[in-house]
Amino acid sequence: MSLAPAKRATSPFPWRNLVLALTLVGLAAWALVGLFSDEGETTAGAAPAAQTIQNKGSDTLVNLALAWAETYMALHPEVRVSVTGGGSGTGIASLINGTVDIANASRAIKAEERAAAQANGITPVEVTVALDAIAVVVHPSNPVEGLTLPQLSAIYTGQITNWRQVGGEDRPIVLLSRESNSGTYVYFLENVIRLGQKSDLLFHPDTLLMPSSEGISAEVRQNPNAIGYDGLGYVTPDQKMLGVAVDSASRYVLPSVETVNDGSYPVSRPLFMYTTDRPSAAIQAFLSWVLADGQAQVIELGFVPLK
């Protein structure tokens, strides 16, 4: 390492330090102004062209939204639909900021998000576009065939820690979950761990939080101790889905298009698209197409179409 101190030369310019100081002060002032002024997202002037639909949000919905966008653009070449993921919260936040036209969400909008939108002069309008079921998955070699919701709750809160306790092999249970910002996480917590009731139950601290669906399937594929959950659309054939029963008296039901549509599979939810209360004609046309012809593609992607 060459760390020899630089030779200091005495400068022939007496005002050098003054100029230097001024430059630094200028830089600092610029920084302070930048930092402490209200830097709102610049939305003015970035308004999308009339026929472009910006669509952003839930990672659960992103593949479906992409498929819809592709088909719709093939049918209507004059319209451009651009789709990005990022999560339900990101999509709704962008809708609030006015940077997207449609926000995809795998959960209903929160009251504070609605309030933030109102403050920005936007009233979000909710459209249910498809149904999703959350499948509970284990390694294919796991002999357990089904679990009740109370059992799942006990497993994910750390009261049941061995597969033997639910009729499996003598193996520790490794809990897998999506990250806490995923809509799937909140849904699973409220409807499975808390059994739809008000309570303070939380995921056990040992729960592995996987940043992606791929993270969950990779670990479930190779680890016979693992249990995970994810949207039905993301379950690959090399994972084993478990039947879920409401309680020990009721029947175990495997998730499928039929069982979600007839309401017998207990862990399912609606998927939403949010628009403003003043959507353009192009957005309205796209949404009505999604609710009609678009439903045919829902099954292909593993989700459950609306009836």
Binding site for other proteins (CB under 8 A): 1, 3-4, 9-13, 16, 19-20, 23-24, 27-28, 31-32, 35-36, 86-90, 93, 112-113, 116, 171-174, 179-182, 185-186, 202-203, 205-211, 215, 218-219, 222-223, 225-226
Nearer to other proteins, 15 or 252 (CB): 15
Question: Shortest gap between Cβ of 292 and other proteins (angstroms)?
Answer: 32
Nearer to other proteins, 142 or 182 (CB): 182
Nearer to other proteins, 126 or 190 (CB): 190
Question: Shortest gap between Cβ of 95 and other proteins (angstroms)?
Answer: 13
Question: Shortest gap between Cβ of 200 and other proteins (angstroms)?
Answer: 8
- The whole-angstrom separation of Cα 223 and Cα 109 is 35
Nearer to other proteins, 210 or 241 (CB): 210
Nearer to other proteins, 22 or 50 (CB): 22
Nearer to other proteins, 88 or 151 (CB): 88
Long-range CB contacts for residues 212-219, cutoff 8 Å, separation at least 24? 212/59, 213/59, 213/178, 216/137, 216/176, 216/178, 217/137, 219/174, 219/176
Q: Alpha helix locations (H) across the chain?
A: 16-36, 62-75, 88-97, 111-119, 149-156, 183-188, 213-222, 257-261, 281-291, 295-300
H/E run at residue 157: none
Question: Shortest gap between Cβ of 49 and other proteins (angstroms)?
Answer: 27
What is the bridge-based pairing of β-strands 102-105 and 268-275?
antiparallel
Nearer to other proteins, 140 or 262 (CB): 140
Which two tokens mark 280?
A: 């353009």
Question: Shortest gap between Cβ of 58 and other proteins (angstroms)?
Answer: 11
Q: Find out whether 61 and 304 touch, Cβ atoms under 8 Å.
A: no
In angstroms, the Cα distances linking 304 to 79, 92, 109, 269 are: 26, 23, 21, 10
Q: Which residues contact 51 (CB under 8 A, 6 or more apart)?
A: 78, 79, 80, 282
Question: Shortest gap between Cβ of 290 and other proteins (angstroms)?
Answer: 24
Question: Shortest gap between Cβ of 136 and other proteins (angstroms)?
Answer: 17
DSSP state, 144?
Answer: -
